[in-house]
Amino acid sequence: MRFTLPLLLIALALGNTSQAADLQPLRVANQKSTIKVLLEVSGELNDVPYQIQFSEFPAAAPLGEALNAGAVDIGALGDAPYVFALGAGAPLKVVSIIHAEGRYTTAILAPKDSPLNTALDLKGKRIVTTRGSIGHLLAIKALRSVGLSTHDVQFIYLLPSESRLLLDNGTADAWSTWDPYTTVVTSQSQAKVLASGDTLLTNHLYLAATRQAIADKRPQLDDFVARVDRAYRWTNAHPEAYAAAQAKVTGLPLAVHVAVANATHMQPVLIDDGVISGLQATAEIYREEGLLTKPIDVSQGFDKSFNAQRAPLNQASR
């Protein structure tokens, strides 16, 4: 019954099916079609009793800005981008969390013939990454884990689409990034992994909604969160189909997406105090690094009430 509760709530809110058109559209921020492809290939865009309007963004930073401005209702962000959004005063709350477990979900990479082998070797080197990204956070935590600091390296801040060139031509010594870029470079260029986020990061993906959307579009958000949960469970059971759908959109080789999908397991995570304290620790790191100008209380950026509307964690995808 919990599994169908979001749809039941919508039915109760409507009173009858003729009122379905009265539900406001849900505006979803989409980073390189990730969420849209996920829902399409899993069949979760079928029979939606409200309109979903997708907006495309090239990276997490502009997606966060759109959420902050209220131009969209909900979007997916990693730990680091979400902290920056909260630090900028964005009126957001996390309504769903998905944990990504897999090989090289995030990693610091170096060319295969590089003399660098571990994070300790990064002292005095140039690291290219995207400012405020999960790759940026990984670099900071990897340096700290071996007794180094950000003052021991030089950061070059670029979008992922521009970063590989710097790694290939030697302008940067290492690239701190995430999948599918990690899989692309390790498979195509045999790049070596200096550090992985497997143990250094939570590898959580946060679905964050604006407070206005939570107030005005709660039935749609309850339903949408459940659809995303089911869709990710579906990808765990159908990695090849998911990879094929992604490849059509990204233009990356099918083999890259197949490798990522087969090596990555996506699991819904309940919003609890442990998750919140983990993100608070990330905020403190950014504060210490001078990337946040003032302390923030990340607990204000979560809504635990959505836990009750999500499908049970052991429920199979429909």
Rounded distance, CA 82 to CA 138, Å? 15
HSE-CB at 24 with a 13 A cutoff on CA atoms is 14
The model's pTM: 0.81
DSSP state of 105: S
pLDDT tens figures, 268-284: 999 999 999 999 999 99
Whole-number Å distance between alpha carbons of 207 and 74: 7
Asked if the model's pLDDT at residue 259 lies above 80, the reply is yes
Determine the pLDDT at residue 309.
Answer: 61
Q: Rounded CA gap, 174 and 166, in Å?
A: 9
Give residue 314's pLDDT.
35
**Cβ neighbours for 41, distance < 8 A, ≥ 6 positions apart:** 234, 235, 238, 241, 242, 245
Rounded CA separation 191/43 (Å): 36
Domains of the chain: 2-101+203-309 (3.40.190.10), 106-200 (3.40.190.10)
Rg (CA), the chain: 20
The pairing of beta strand 126-129 with beta strand 52-57? unpaired
pLDDT tens-place string over residues 210-234: 999 999 999 999 999 999 999 999 9
pLDDT tens per residue across span 39-85 = 999 999 999 999 999 999 887 888 889 999 999 999 999 888 899 88
* 175 beta partners: 109, 128
